[in-house]
Chains A and B, each alone.
Chain A
Amino acid sequence: MFKRHLLAAALACALPTSALAVTDADLAALRAEFDRKLKDIQAAYEDRLKEMETRLVKQSGESPETAQAVPRPGNTGAAVASANPELSLILQGVYAQRKAGERRPTGFLQDAGIGAPARGFSLGDSELILAASIDPSFRGQATVVLADDAVVVEEAWFQTSSLDHGLTLKGGRFISGIGYQNEQHPHAWDFTDNNLMYQTLFGEHLVQDGLQLKWLAPTDTFVELGVEIGRGGAFPGASADKNGAGSWAAFGHVGGDVGESNAWRAGLSYLGARPRDRESPLIDISGIDTNNLFSGKAKIWIADLVWKWAPEGNPRARNFKFQAEYFQRDEDGDLACDDADPLVPSLCTGGSTDAYRGKQSGWYAQGIYQFMPHWRVGLRYDRLNNDSLDYGVNNANLARTGYHPNKWSLMADYSPSEYSRFRLQLARDHAMQGNPDDSQIGLQYIYSLGAHGAHKF
């Protein structure tokens, strides 16, 4: 090594005096040849050294397996791959042009925490993600969302890596494995906003505080089964101060390839929760906001399908992704209706509680086509159905319409690299009866910094 520096120095010194005679190309060639020879010598030495090591090991009676299983020193390749811990930061921002006000799907009990979508310029969620193997048996990850006056722990979980037999146990706060879109982080969404189905069912997505056990069948076809028990504190559950579990989920996924260019996954999921005093806004017959507390049973079924096409299995230049999900929600219990604002009395003034039974369903379907490197276009249709609503005595107060909330979204995005994306989205939002929003425009950027982990299928 020292010798090499010396020679390089000598060459450098020699350069000015012989500059007239020696061209850059000559020097480069000389340098290349020198490097090559040096490498050959190094390689020869290293090989001889290895041979001697092996012989030594054999003499000392150790098994040669352990001797040669030792990787070559000096390679950092493997080490960088698993930089520990992997840290990444997601930066997002949106510009939205739309009419003011709420866009609540009419007739659907929804998380009261969902406010009116922002207009004008706004900063999206900045996500800080930290992930690493804890030891040979566990992996951990935390996702923290940084907002203006809050730091929200979106995920904080451990996962086993050595249970074997296809089993994986996850615990802590994690994004539930139900459905398909549920496990996608907002920065991996194909549109600037969530579809109506997930927004209505879970707000953003279902996050569990609890345990998840998954089992992958030992078959050539992908077959995965999972169960979850959780606190059930988040919609469609509601903060339950009690022992035991507040929500249960089960899901099954199957998947495979069709030829070299097509891959698919389909699934069926179930979620059960027992919310107590879960808060949701609804409007009364005269169009005034009411506040509603639901206590009872909530059951949700989800069927999902995703189909991806990439010519010869190379998604980089062109690819197409079709995704659709269908749900049924069945809620049975008591609903306590009251004024949302004491200064604006509604038909529920003074409080009115009775049995509530709601059977609702809905679906969305979307297609995303990357027609050339960096450029994609996508179309999505959302639809919700009020199949049957019975508010008991509150039928006299709350609007029971046959309205079917729906929404069309069209997007185009450009990704200069894997780590940056810019998106334009146009939408016709008919989620709320009587307040059709014919032209929503959204502009969005998404950047990911650092060790950005791979995305799931």
Chain B
Amino acid sequence: MSTKPKVGFYWCASCGGCEESFVDVAEAILDLAQLVEFAIFPVAMDFKRQDVEALDDGEIFATMINGAIRTSEQEEMCHLLRRKSQVIIAYGSCAYSGGIPALANLVSKEALMKYVYEDAPTVVNPDHARPQTETLDQGRMATLPEIREMVRSLDQVIEVDYSIPGCAPNPKLVLAALQTLLSGERPPKGAVLAPNVALCANCPRIDTKPRELSVKAFKRPHLHEVDPDTCLLAQGFLCMGPATRSGCGEACIRGNMPCTGCYGPVDGILDQGAKILTSLASLVEAHDEAGIDHAMEAIVDPVGSFYRYGMAKSLLRRKIDLPTPVAR
């Protein structure tokens, strides 16, 4: 039996981009493969749940789980992996803070299901059929996982040791994290394994950001030409860089797109959305209500803009007047 430490990857409610990003480390993955053995890695290798179950508790050195948590199966798998792993890393924005899937916390499960199975333009479902957790078919019971009322981040379901945010994370971060952990070093529990400073610190455009910035009206990037060299906020585009942890390699900025905040806030911030809100609103030039409202008109969907990746981990977590889940 191999003595190489075992490493796991698992995905929950995610687009798969996180694992893809890991495959992106290209040659480095081969080096890593020399050092470790994969215990589970759905995107790249064929493992079954039984294979994991067969392991001893704590046998996996570290598991990186990506994706938000919305189904009972995801919860079960996370619990299983928690038990089998010494270290659990929330990998990617969805696992870390809910990510894009957590925007579903703005509608009820019922509304969501109704739309997907009945009202969506491409759906024909005259019987109003909905997926059932148990269906008897030709004498055999087929089961489906339960869909929860709301979307959660990983740490709202199991204990998480570290997080690597990003949509998708910069593979360099995970490589560095694994190297650190394999060397026996353990950062303090709960640490986010990315630099604890906001994106502006590394942004190639920071010197073009004026010292006394004041914005007449915010703009939406698809309606205006975007200058490729000037600070996007200075151009009036809603750049989340000031309120977002760095570590991404400024991918969006270099692609001439404003930061959308996928790395979450820096340490100590309870609510990234509130923080970007306060900093953006602080830049508005107008003094009166009408002028202020006008300046922020282009922020058509404040929740969607400020909590694009962080709804599950925000202070309110979801639209608060939705039906509350009932205890199982």
Whether both chains belong to one complex is answered with: no
Q: Could you list which residues of chain B lie within 8 angstroms of chain A, going by C-beta atoms?
A: none
Chain A positions within 8 Å of B, measured between CB atoms, are: none
